[in-house]
Structure 1
Amino acid sequence: MATIRDVAKLAGVSTATVSRVLNEQGGVNSETKQKVLDAIKKLNYKPNTIAKNFRQNKTDTIIVVIPDITNTFFSKILLGMQDVANANGYNVLLCNTNNDVEKELEYIRFTERRGADGIIFLTARVNYTNILELTKTCPVVVACEYIDNLDIPTVSINNFKAAYEASEYLIKLGHKKIAYINGPEGIVLSRDRLRGYKAALERYGIEIDEKLIFEGDFYYESGYKHAKQILENEATAVFTASDDMAAGFIRYCIDNNIKVPEEVSVVGFDNIKLASIIKPELTTIAQPMYEIGTTAMDMLIKLIKGEEVEKRNIVLEHQLIVRESCMPYEKNCVKSKGY
């Protein structure tokens, strides 16, 4: 196997000159450069990429920290990230936290020890000081969420506005007893969606009933779990902070012979594929998942290359997708017993 010394000998130059040509550093005239390139081609020389990257503190690797790799919401986001990363010559290393803050912290320490060209968080639940320290080591972007009072590039939607619009849609259908299943407390998007739900009710003069507000975890099981109490409290509609929880709620209704939307209307959040498969098809807030992924990765690669990022906090557009799971309120449309 040819070495850099072999190339230098054949081209009649020093190994330093070959290195400058390989790294496109300039300072080599066109004639000498062509001799080096001809020698590389003739010897079929393959540079030692690992050694080169080590010397340049470059790994060609980007870490993506994901809270739950089994959650289908993240699949299109990851696809968008992968497409942009690969097009720019980077590999993507996925690190799954299973919603464990300690795991997230562990990946931060791993990045600081072993190095990566950059890191994207699809969750940000650790103490902000840990993220801040990491920014001294490599570029960081947060997607789907943001971190209060911290100047870190982010890509997300306006969760407050999206939740407001979902709640307003139900209100305009005539519903006044609207239940809400939120995500876990302590997550910024859960806070923003709850604020949006409450703001819509207040805007239309509807009293906020805390008995109709529940903490979920974004998963199917929590939608199913809270359905009984929601229906016992005679809600005529329910808005959930994820499509999975909406599906769980609908499943409970099916198991108990409660008709959706004739007896209770349902709105979800995310627009994962499940939303268009279940019956009735789910009305939901659509997040631009693929675009979140491509935008976040494009931003990170610009930061890695030292390029200026014009807008550090990008808010993408969401959309209310109206399908089959809602209908106008009719008096006494929900059973009062038997749940």
Structure 2
Amino acid sequence: MVRIADVAKMANVSTATVSRVISNAGTVKKETAEKVLEAIKELNYQPNMLARQLRRSETKTILVVVPDITNTFFSAVLRGIESVAIENGYQVLLGDARNDVESETSFLTILGQKKADGLILLTARTDQKILEDLSQDYPVVLACEYYEGSKLPTVSIDNVSSARKATEYLISLNHKRIGHISGPLNIVVGRDRCRGFHQAMAQHGLSVDPSLVQEGEFSFESGFNLMMKFLSLENPPTALFAGNDEMAMGAIKAAKSKGLRVPEDLSVVGFDDIQFASIFEPALTTVAQPTFDMGQKAMRLLLKLIKDEELEKDQFILPDQLIVRESCKELTIEE
């Protein structure tokens, strides 16, 4: 079946431009419109008029799907989304996927039922093709997570370089035996943060002990359990990079339960800079994401799609920052 994306590719324009030509919006240059119409004719493209008619009936509601509502990281992103939504007369409908692919995918039907004008996904576990097909008829934006190689409008950070930066900080403190508790490796951010850890170790000529790299679940419990596993080794790590703050806090709890001191006996770096990170004891060194800005940017992108406005670009990488607090200490090298 020929899709609007196929027409856009042949005419060398965006899908939004094709949409404006089809709806006769009158805001497209004559030469561009002619290229689009020629591509439509050559490909025999049949627009999904039912979907277009449904989209014209506005609900002034947008749907935001989060992977896990109990993860406080997403609250700041949601505040950013809501601030722009309210400013533009929209309300936010929240869906909690509970880290389940089927639950995440089930929320997509809300667009087809015309209960929302657009969708912002803060998770990317749904089959990529399903989401890309949906985006041909409805406004869809990804934030925080992403698909590798996708053209879906996306707002995120560079998780590989951020993880590399966190690991290099531990290396700069003379740590060589560094453990890593990753997030789920079926999620791109889990894989990318793990990749950044390995890159930093390799670039500094440090070997990675496979027993010191374990896959967690982005939960406090998995951080605790996997740190206990590390501590049972004959030669445990002197430092740990955890794929998120909750796992880092779980790891610190495990270390304390074994009578270890953080950072004197173990240095720990987390990721996300959730609100609790600064008041945890010790205050957690972590990578801060611009969560509020990510939410605002994602909502502004969605509004452009809802209004059929052309996007200047569709991939936005926002800056992160390593926040140094009290959970790391330089390792004294014995002569």
How does the TM-score come out when normalised to structure 2? 0.81
User: 1:1-339 counterparts in 2 under 5 A?
Assistant: 56-233=56-233, 234-331=236-333
Hey, what does 1:20 align to over in structure 2?
A: none
Output the amino acid matched with 2:75.
S
Distance 2:144 2:166 in 1: 18
Over residues 105-139 of structure 1, what are the superposed CA-to-partner deviations in whole Å (9 max), with x where a residue is unaligned? Answer: 11112322334211000001011121022112311
Kept in 2, the 8 Å contact 1:66–1:122? The answer is yes
Tell me the CA shift for residue 259 of structure 1: 0.3
Q: Quick one: structure 1 residues 253 and 55, their matched pair in 2 at CA, closer, same or farther if it must change by over 3 Å? A: closer
Kept in 2, the 8 Å contact 1:64–1:120? The answer is yes
Kept in 2, the 8 Å contact 1:112–1:137? The answer is no
Over residues 19-52 of structure 1, what are the superposed CA-to-partner deviations in whole Å (9 max), with x where a residue is unaligned? Answer: xxxxxxxxxxxxxxxxxxxxxxxxxxxxxxxxxx
Tell me the CA shift for residue 98 of structure 1: 0.3
Q: Percent identity?
A: 47
Q: Quick one: structure 1 residues 55 and 214, their matched pair in 2 at CA, closer, same or farther if it must change by over 3 Å? A: closer
Distance 2:97 2:332 in 1: 45
Distance 1:199 1:262 in 2: 26
Distance 1:291 1:246 in 2: 24
Distance 2:230 2:316 in 1: 36
Tell me the CA shift for residue 331 of structure 1: 5.0
> Which of 144-153 and 95-104 deviates more?
144-153
> RMSD of the alignment, in Å?
1.7
Kept in 2, the 8 Å contact 1:112–1:134? The answer is no
Hey, what does 2:42 align to over in structure 1?
A: none
Counterpart secondary structure, 2:132: helix
Counterpart secondary structure, 1:114: coil
Counterpart secondary structure, 1:92: strand
Hey, what does 1:36 align to over in structure 2?
A: none
Over residues 255-300 of structure 1, what are the superposed CA-to-partner deviations in whole Å (9 max), with x where a residue is unaligned? Answer: 2211000001000000011111111111000011101100100111
Tell me the CA shift for residue 202 of structure 1: 0.3
Tell me the CA shift for residue 54 of structure 1: 7.3
Counterpart secondary structure, 1:197: helix
Tell me the CA shift for residue 232 of structure 1: 3.1
Tell me the CA shift for residue 58 of structure 1: 1.3
Distance 1:259 1:124 in 2: 37
Q: Quick one: structure 1 residues 161 and 54, their matched pair in 2 at CA, closer, same or farther if it must change by over 3 Å? A: closer
Over residues 284-335 of structure 1, what are the superposed CA-to-partner deviations in whole Å (9 max), with x where a residue is unaligned? Answer: 0001110110010011101111222212100000000000000111358xxx
Distance 2:77 2:219 in 1: 18
How does the TM-score come out when normalised to structure 1? 0.80
Output the amino acid matched with 1:310.
E
Gaps of 5+ in 1: 1-52, 333-339
Hey, what does 1:336 align to over in structure 2?
A: none
Q: How many residues align?
A: 281
Output the amino acid matched with 1:300.
L
Distance 2:81 2:310 in 1: 20
Counterpart secondary structure, 1:281: coil
Output the amino acid matched with 1:281.
A
Q: Quick one: structure 1 residues 224 and 136, their matched pair in 2 at CA, closer, same or farther if it must change by over 3 Å? A: same
Kept in 1, the 8 Å contact 2:73–2:274? The answer is yes
> Which of 110-119 and 188-197 deviates more?
110-119
Kept in 2, the 8 Å contact 1:143–1:296? The answer is yes
Kept in 1, the 8 Å contact 2:166–2:286? The answer is yes
> Which of 251-260 and 72-81 deviates more?
251-260
Counterpart secondary structure, 2:286: strand
Distance 2:102 2:277 in 1: 32
Q: Quick one: structure 1 residues 228 and 56, their matched pair in 2 at CA, closer, same or farther if it must change by over 3 Å? A: closer
Distance 2:301 2:271 in 1: 26
Distance 1:87 1:206 in 2: 50
Output the amino acid matched with 1:136.
Q
Output the amino acid matched with 2:202.
E
Distance 1:56 1:165 in 2: 46
